[in-house]
Chain A
Amino acid sequence: MTAPRTHHSRFGIASTTMVHAKGIRKSYGHLEVLKGVDLTVPSGSVACIIGPSGSGKSTFLRCINHLEEINAGLMLVDGDFVGYRLEGNKLYELPPSAICQRRAEIGMVFQQFNLFPHMTVLENLIEAPVRVKREPVAQATAKAIDLLQRVGLAEKRDSYPRQLSGGQQQRVAIARALAMNPKVLLFDEPTSALDPELVGEVLEVMKSLAREGITMVVVTHEIGFAREVADQLVFMDGGVVVESGNPREMIANPQSPRTREFLARVL
């Protein structure tokens, strides 16, 4: 879907790198949640982040699209900053209106779906394309119906979110993120709030997106999904990346004792 481009941005990083994080630090008061996180996600690849709760993996994900501001480090998406402007050796935080333009290129799927409850499924999908990207309603509607077919919910277009099951709501949320044609999709524990029998339908949709070559960063507890789909598995603990690499090798033969201990508990 996103054809990899090979030109180099002004920061000298090949733009085939979609997410480039270097030395990311983040504190809440005296509590340092991220202690220098490095991660590189190439265009068209899938990175799965696993780790115990409190390891900072969700916080790190939220730093990528600047839902959380960082205290130190460098975070580039498609070769440019999201929430900052570089001048000399200073990063100036941008006003919300400027950040919004960059955020529109970064899709996000939440644990709690966060669909707009006062709008129908179709209205949820066309709201941002029409209001933010100024797409004509007819065009946005056609694209939305197409996306709903892809997630298998075409017949639910006029339902309200509360009339859908959790799995259906999450599939609508994925379609809503896709409606903005994002360069990268962030998933924050997308199946953790679902009943066990509904997890599969959401993972199926995510697998089909991975096959289409959409760049994805997924915070998840689904080790099986990570092994099957991820190009890169990242294990975080205590605010740092402990180990990362090929998911099959890492799960079969973890190098760090902390990784081994965590995998032993969840597998």
Chain B
Amino acid sequence: MLQYIVIGVVIGGIYAIFAAGLITTFQASGILNFGYGAIAFFIARTYYFLLVQHQWPIWAAALISILVIAPAMGFILWAALFRILQQATTLVKVVATIGLSVMLPALAGIIYGNPVISFSPGLVPYPVPSYTVLGVGISLDQINVVACVVLILVVGFVVVNMTEWGLVIRALVDSPAQTSLTGTNPKVAAAAVWTIATCFAGLAGVLIAPILGVNSDNYEFLIVAAFSAVLLARFINIGVAILASIALGVVSSLLNLWLPPTGTVSTGVIASVPFAFIFIFVLYEAVRRKVPSNPGGGGGALDRAITTGGAVSASHDKAQPSDFNTRPDFRLSGWRRQKRLPTAITALVILLLLPVLLSPFWTGRVALGLAFGIVFLSLRIVMGEGGTIWLCQASFAGVGAMVSAYLITDHQWPLIPAIVVAALLTALGGSILAYLTTRLGDLYVALVTLAFGILVDRLIFTIPVFQGSLNAGIPLVESFATNDTTFFYILAGLTLAVVLFVEHFRQSTAGLALSATRWSEPSSRALGLSVVQIKVLAACLSAVIAAVGGAFIALSYQYAVPATFDTIGALVWIAVFVTVGVRSTLAAVVAGILSVVTPAIFQTFFPTSISDLPPVLFGLGAVLLANNPEGVLIMHAEQGRRLIAHTLHAGRRIFPTVEARSSDVVD
């Protein structure tokens, strides 16, 4: 048992370093860094690169990666991203840091190559010596982790509480604006905080490598798990976060001991502890109505007054309609108010000609892209129109795929009833999730939906039923579409139907109402709208569309495996959607096609060394959102698109509609 507690303390200690870093940076700038795990991974990967690939001595590799590259990276990221991001809306902050988490691992792949990493050394030369203390075997790696955690925490505590530097950091964390009023430059202090926090992330990343393996997904999980400690600390109290981290580590480890050692269910349960914790904690708070809005990071009332302009403004010039964005006249019919109807028809014609123009392989890719497009169309409702940061859409798509595949293969159901049942299940799930999260602030919704997605991955998709023949997955009926072209046309028709439905929804009274609840809940309620009803409706419709999209993704692949719908892996979907697809309904389809076709183009036409470039571009696109402090996604989606379009010369040649469609007028 003591053995398990030791392991728990080690893992908990790593959580603690991450949680402390997350809280400090959140309080100093109001940004919860979803990319923190990716930063830790990047440094760990750098260390591995120097140590193993280039056979540097341990001390040199550690020095360069943890004490040179990590701080440099922290400073650069602060200057280029976090500094600007401070003024942005929660949606942009979350998506931009998600962009970071998508971009950095891929970037690491490009810079350091993609060797098979079977063994990841820590700060100790191999073979790692083990000691027996009180009858418990403990490796020097584990001792290192505990020692470093203790050292960081002790030194951190002393520095923060007893030095002049610490005073400034605490002041900054309390209120950047007030800090500047005492004559201290808050920017210098903030840069220091981010630089040091990145160093810590790097150290923690290197320390944990022997336990986790140098695998970016594991690092991202670790960060989301650390979020649970951050939540328990209510984004403020580092002491509570540290204790909670260690408790979480120990509890997870002890479950390992207590639960039956075999069976995927146990593994799933153990791995889900922190995420279940996030889920339950936030919902409990929501029921108690304790967290009506976002946690207050980045200072107090004064800081908000100078960023959002708390005061009302006067206008001395007569405003003209030409100064603003306009829409077609409200007296026109819904059809005539569709500004992009000609473009849409052109795009549709080109799409229908594609099977004639392209080889069967590329037709298949585009068909898969359309299926992804349907999932992105579902995001268009819940994120694009509803403004909710909804990070579990991949799970709904996954349920659509897995459940319909299960019904078809194991129970010989026909396709359509199977999809309907799957969609009804996701509708239920989406509605319940939306109902439970309606009252929460944006950031809490992001965390809960992310935790929900991971729970689905670990608890539901690990059920033996969905594992099928595990690796091959569950093959879907191949007789459904007799050939690729038929399948393509079926998907094109379905996509068209979903596009029309999304536009229909947007124009309907419910669509107007969803926009209303997004921008001002009080005003909506004063108009007699029930915010809960509208949000549940949007989530429900969105989940159904995602399920249909998911089912068709599986149909395109000809098999359904949970890995396709992994929540962490699917964060790249969010990056692509917000970068390209949030602008209009058509753009969502384009985003779907791009997300499939771009990697395919890279794999086919470019050397493998840069096959990781598409995720870098998608992540970068999301990161670039930060440049617009107002958080009008539209403009920056435009930037990201331009960037992608520039890079993908081949994309234009092979797939001309990408350009034609994505240059549509922004709606």
Q: Do A and B come together as binding partners?
A: no
Residues of chain B touching chain A, judged by Cβ–Cβ distance below 8 Å, are none
